């Protein structure tokens, strides 16, 4: 049982109202933590602190900021096992995956500890002999970061590491289901030597009130959000009132194209890796599998064989690869998608059932890894994010049809394709309207690459050298020699 307050101006304090809320283990229903429930006044305290700390943090040398981030990286790695257990306990993903996420999250901190030192300016040839033009890149200011429950650590560091490296101060608002990982991470940043007010953490059960307070405040100059497209659009509208910088990492509906020349077993392995990670609860998880009609049956069998062998259960138990869904609503959505598909003619090759158990909170919800064949375009699974372990498989006749189907969505985050034909791989990758394309690779995310989506999957990029640009303003200085 872990208890945390709000972290504002270098101090852990209760919410002004004294209110708290509980955190549950989605695999057991047990209460595993209690955190402060912030209201508007607490958020304003955090904005005050971040605003006060900004000039001092921005004025530090890049090397000084880099060294603190580097210490935070070392501490994350030193505490990797503990952080992973906290994550599995509140989020449900299997321990091995949680360890992988902590390392991935730490990699952003390492990467931006290095990038902090490479925020270069420019000089531009002037129009007159007595003038000089200098281009400076400066931190945007106070940053508000709102993050989801499916990656309780990586979605935070992917935002705050580049923000801090650039010289911004931050206020983090994690999801209400997974605040404990965030609290422990902030303790680590504190231990690494972050000055008071540079990193602030606001936990709360009233997300809209917290976000609205940050959005309305002119001192917050940037909002960076990862979550649903629906909420992202609301934030974008509200950010307009104070013309804030905005980055959005939103929903996805990833297609996975398997061409007739693919190695069927290898393709099934990569589809399974992409589809069933985190029980299907990631924005880049495969949502639609398109397979050439000549190999549909053997491919579906190979995928079903892998799915059927996956052990479902509490992520802390040895051998479990599919943890619980985050809550009842999530389980009901997955169940509805499978029911809808079956009613409209889909065939369940394996799985298809919700496995609910009694937990102390009520029920806890698991779902069997599921493969559906004979899937048609009118089924919910083909156009709504399922966010669960369901792989709908549809066939295509030629490359043109495969690309058309893949692009037929309002989303554009990640897409995957499997082929041994190099020319086809390049042609198809170039035609896909997606920010991330995995060729024979179901798990492409790494800290040094620019992650982000086309269309309604978002705005901006996180990770890589591009990620720090999101936290920098460009200023030019025209200097006349007198």
Please give the positions annotated as active site: 249, 283
- Identified binder of ligand NAP from the candidate list 251, 313, 324, 464, rule CB under 6 A: 251
Residue for token pair 């931006």:
112
Fill in the DSSP letter of residue 92: -
Task: Locate 413 and state its tokens.
Answer: 């985050």
Residue 113 contacts by C-beta under 8 Å, 6 or more apart in sequence? 66, 67, 69, 70, 72, 73, 161, 165
Which of 49, 231, 264, 447 contacts ligand NAP by CB under 6 A? 231
Dihedral of alpha carbons 450, 202, 251, 317, sign: positive
Q: Which is nearer to ligand NAP, 141 or 227 (CB)?
A: 227
Q: Is 432 helix (H, G, I), strand (E, B) or coil?
A: coil
CB-nearer residue toward ligand NAP: 190 or 385: 385
- Rounded to 5 degrees, what are φ and ψ at 40? -55, -45
Angstrom distance (rounded) from CA 164 to CA 312 = 39
What is the C-alpha to C-alpha distance for residues 270 and 21, in angstroms, rounded to an integer? 39
Q: Kindly write down the DSSP assignment for every residue of 325-342, as one continuous string.
A: -SSHHHHHHHHHHHHHHH
The reply to whether 147 sits near ligand NAP by the rule CB under 6 A is: yes
Cα atoms in the 13 Å half-sphere on the side-chain side of 453 = 28
Does 252 sit near ligand NAP (CB under 6 A)?
yes
20 binds ligand NAP (CB under 6 A): no
Stretch that binds ligand NAP, among 65-73, 224-232, 341-349, 360-368 (CB under 6 A): 224-232
> Closest separation between CB of residue 406 and ligand NAP, Å?
17
Interface stretch with ligand NAP, choices 115-123, 135-143, 223-231, 339-347 (CB under 6 A):
223-231
When asked if residue 445 is in the footprint of ligand NAP (CB under 6 A), the reply is no
Looking at the Cβ atoms of 197 and 227, the one nearer to ligand NAP is: 227
72 binds ligand NAP (CB under 6 A): no
Closest approach, Cβ 434 to ligand NAP, in A, equals 12
Q: Which is nearer to ligand NAP, 173 or 275 (CB)?
A: 173
Residue 273 as a binder of ligand NAP (CB under 6 A): the answer is no
Helices (H) and strands (E) in the chain, counts: 14, 27
- Nearest residue to ligand NAP by CB is 227
Q: Measured from the CB of residue 234, what is the shortest distance to ligand NAP in angstroms?
A: 6
Other beta carbons within 10 Å of 125: 7
Residue 224 beta carbon to ligand NAP: minimum distance, rounded to whole angstroms: 11
Beta carbons within 10 angstroms of residue 390's beta carbon? 27
Q: State yes or no: residue 431 binds ligand NAP (CB under 6 A).
A: no
CA 336 – CA 381 distance, rounded (Å) = 9
Q: Angle at CA 464, nearest 5°, toward 462 and 469?
A: 65
Residue 228 sits in the site that holds ligand NAP (CB under 6 A): yes
- Is residue 217 a contact point for ligand NAP (CB under 6 A)? no
Please compute, for residue 141, the number of CA atoms within 13 A of its CA located in the half-sphere on the CB side: 14
- Looking at the Cβ atoms of 141 and 251, the one nearer to ligand NAP is 251
Give the binding-site size for ligand NAP (rule: CB under 6 A): 28
Least gap, CB of 462 to ligand NAP (angstroms):
7
Burial of 132 (0-12, 13-18, 19+ CB in 10 A): middle
Can you tell me which of 138, 234, 242, 431 binds ligand NAP, judged by CB under 6 A? 234
176 belongs to the binding site for ligand NAP (CB under 6 A): yes
Smallest distance, ligand NAP to C-beta of residue 294, A: 32
* Nearest to 419, CA basis, from 245, 267, 295: 267
Instruction: Select from 33-41, 94-102, 140-148, 356-364 the region that touches ligand NAP (CB under 6 A).
Output: 140-148
Burial 136-171 (b: 16+ CB within 10 A, else e): ebbbbbbbbbbbbbbbbbbbbbbbbbbbbbbbbbbb
By CB under 6 A, is residue 250 in contact with ligand NAP? yes
The interaxial angle of helices 296-308 and 264-276, nearest 10 deg, is 50
3-state SS assignment for residue 282? coil
HSE-up of 265 (CA within 13 Å, CB side)? 0
> Which range, of 206-214, 258-266, 293-301, 469-477, touches ligand NAP by CB under 6 A?
206-214
C-beta of 157: minimal distance to ligand NAP in Å?
13
Residue 146 makes contact with ligand NAP by CB under 6 A: yes
From candidates 101, 107, 249, 368, binder to ligand NAP by CB under 6 A: 249
- Footprint on this chain of ligand NAP (rule: CB under 6 A): 146-151, 155, 173, 175-177, 207-208, 211, 226-228, 231, 234, 249-252, 283, 385, 413, 453, 458
């Amino acid at each position: 049982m872990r208890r945390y307050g709000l972290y504002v101006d270098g101090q852990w304090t209760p919410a002004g109202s004294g209110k708290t809320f509980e955190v549950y283990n989605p695999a057991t229903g047990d209460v595993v933590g209690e955190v402060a429930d912030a209201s508007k006044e607490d958020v304003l305290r955090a904005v005050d602190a971040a605003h006060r700390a900004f000039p001092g943090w921005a004025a530090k040398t890049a090397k000084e900021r880099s060294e603190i981030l580097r210490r935070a990286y070392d501490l994350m790695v030193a505490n990797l096992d503990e952080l992973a257990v906290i994550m599995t306990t509140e989020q449900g993903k299997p321990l091995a995956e949680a360890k992988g996420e902590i390392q991935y999250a730490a990699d952003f901190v390492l990467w931006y500890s290095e990038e902090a030192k490479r925020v270069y300016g420019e000089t531009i040839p002037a129009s007159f002999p007595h003038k000089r033009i200098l281009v400076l890149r400066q931190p945007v200011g106070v940053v508000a970061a709102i993050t989801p429950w499916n990656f309780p650590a990586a979605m935070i560091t992917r935002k705050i590491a580049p923000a801090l490296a650039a010289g911004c101060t931050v206020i983090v608002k994690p999801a209400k289901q997974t605040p404990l990982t965030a609290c422990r991470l902030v303790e680590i940043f504190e231990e690494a030597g972050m000055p008071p007010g540079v990193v602030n953490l606001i936990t709360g059960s009233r997300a809209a009130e917290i976000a609205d307070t940050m959005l309305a405040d002119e001192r917050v100059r940037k909002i960076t959000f990862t979550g649903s497209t629906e909420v992202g659009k609301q934030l974008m509208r509200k950010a307009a009132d104070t013309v804030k910088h905005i980055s959005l990492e939103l929903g996805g509906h990833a297609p996975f194209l398997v061409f007739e020349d693919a190695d069927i077993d290898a393709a099934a392995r990569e589809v399974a890796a992409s589809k069933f990670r985190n029980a299907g609860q990631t924005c880049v998880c495969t949502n639609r599998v398109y397979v050439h009609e000549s190999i549909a049956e053997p491919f579906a069998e190979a995928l079903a064989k892998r799915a059927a062998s996956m052990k479902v259960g509490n992520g802390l138990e040895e051998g479990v690869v599919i943890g619980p869904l985050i809550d009842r609503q999530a389980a009901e959505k997955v169940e509805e998608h499978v029911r809808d598909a079956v009613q409209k003619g889909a065939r369940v090759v394996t799985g298809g059932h919700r496995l609910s158990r009694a937990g102390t909170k009520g029920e806890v919800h698991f779902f069997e890894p599921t493969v559906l064949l004979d899937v048609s375009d009118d089924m919910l699974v083909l156009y709504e994010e399922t966010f669960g372990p369901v792989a709908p498989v549809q066939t295509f006749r030629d490359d043109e049809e495969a690309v058309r189907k893949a692009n037929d969505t309002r989303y554009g985050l990640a897409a995957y394709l499997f082929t041994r034909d190099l020319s086809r791989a390049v042609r198809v990758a170039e035609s896909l309207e997606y920010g991330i394309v995995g060729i024979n690779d179901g798990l492409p995310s790494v800290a040094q690459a620019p992650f982000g989506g086309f269309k309604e999957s978002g705005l901006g990029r996180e990770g890589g050298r591009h990620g720090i640009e999101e936290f920098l303003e460009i200023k030019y200085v025209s200097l006349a020699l007198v």
